[in-house]
Amino acid sequence: MSQSQIWEQRRHDDPRHDTLNALLDSIERFVRERLVPAEHVVAETDEIPEDIIAEMKELGLFGLTIPEEYNGLGLTMEEEALVIMAMGQTSPAFRSVFGTTVGIGSQGILLDGLDWRRKSTCPSFATGEIIASFALTEPEAGSDSASLCTTAIRDGDFYVVNGTKRFITNAPHAGIFTLMAHRIPRIRALAA
């Protein structure tokens, strides 16, 4: 059963029904006709072709969770899950291109950012002009956020970041980074 058929069964009376079905149909076709055939290219080159990224932008994938007031699609969590399930029919590499932007990259700004920052950044997230990155993993801590060594210490209006990150999602293409760090230096206990 396709994602649009699931939506059809659950939300036939919802006013967004036709719009979401059209989006899901477009994404399913995009996955089938463009992404699955390109999986071998991505596996060989470790790069998503630029023309595919451009098509993702045209489909609105970078703006899934961005509110409509910032030119995004403003999908609910359930609607986003249906889109991600449709994207799950191909390599996860494709989803990671926009997934960080619609997730941790934009949500911190949307939920806790200053109004001027939301207005200046979120429309660029929605179009894919700005791609977000997520910097969590460290050489010694891995992806265990409680064991991070990187610090971000306030110095006037800025933070001084000290530490090492690796395996940073979207790093080569990112225009903004969500960086995980401690604001208070940690004292490491000595093993006896």
Which segments of 1-64 does DSSP mark as H helices, in order?
Answer: 3-11, 17-30, 36-45, 50-59
Q: Which residues contact 137 (CB under 8 A, 6 or more apart)?
A: 143, 165, 166, 167, 168
> For all residues of the chain together, what is the average pLDDT?
89
* Model pLDDT, residue 146: 87
Model confidence over 146-189: pLDDT tens digits?
889 999 999 999 999 999 999 998 898 899 999 999 888 765 54
More confident residue, 3 or 144: 144
Tokens 């949307």 -> residue: 110
- Is 1 exposed, middle or buried (CB count within 10 Å of its CB: 0-12, 13-18, 19+)? exposed
Mean pLDDT to the nearest integer, 62-89: 94
Q: Phi and psi for 31 in degrees, rounded to 5?
A: -60, -50
Model confidence over 17-54: pLDDT tens digits?
788 889 999 999 999 999 999 999 999 999 999 999 99
* Model pLDDT, residue 192: 44
**Is residue 60 scored above 90 in pLDDT?**
yes
* Model pLDDT, residue 19: 85
